[in-house]
Amino acid sequence: MGFTIAIDGPAAAGKGTLSKAIAAHFGFAHLDTGLLYRAVGAKTLLGVEPIEAALKLVASDMDDTDLRSPEVAQAASKVAVIPEVRAALVDFQRAFGARAGGAVLDGRDIGTVICPDAKVKLYVTASAEVRAERRYLELSAKGDASTREQVLADVKARDARDMERVEAPLKPADDAVLIDTSEMSIEDAIAKALAAIEAHTA
């Protein structure tokens, strides 16, 4: 089994940015597992049943440029509470995590469910207000007309769904290193994450 790094946390906490930087630093493969759920969510918006969409998912489905839209994000959060959808996507994620050469996976349940034996587990978080502001600026740059209030409400609603679902709720693994990026620069967050990982490789 390769060296697996599990990174979990809520939306817009910075785990995607951290994951890519960590993967690049160590030369590991990276998987944004949220894209799996976004791809399923995108198909449900086209009328496909969630379980069918998950069972028939192929790697190329994650190349869709619309997967980052707010509508797809909400659809992804809704399909992620369906146990059969999660089960259909577990094998794909575990196989990726076990690949030779090392892997970084980021999502909501990597350290608790998908790769509980990961060498290093990080839980990246930030306040709902900080995360909503980040998402608002990101959406505004793309021409989205959502207000700050709407984005904050969406972030809180998604948090509630992710944290309160029965199947694989979002929570830190018992042995995860907590990184709160609310008042951290990207550089500082990356430095803290790399230090935590290197402490396990020394």
**Annotated binding-site residue numbers:** 9-17
Spatial distance between the Cα atoms of 155 and 133, rounded to a whole number of angstroms: 10
Spatial distance between the Cα atoms of 38 and 34, rounded to a whole number of angstroms: 6
Q: Which two tokens stand for residue 195?
A: 């230090």
Contacts of 197 (CB under 8 A, 6+ apart): 5, 22, 26, 120
Eight-class DSSP state of 4: E
> Quick one: angle between helices 128-141 and 148-164, nearest 10?
120
Alpha helix (H) residue ranges in the chain: 15-26, 34-45, 50-55, 70-79, 83-97, 128-141, 148-164, 186-201
Binding residue numbers for ATP: 9-17
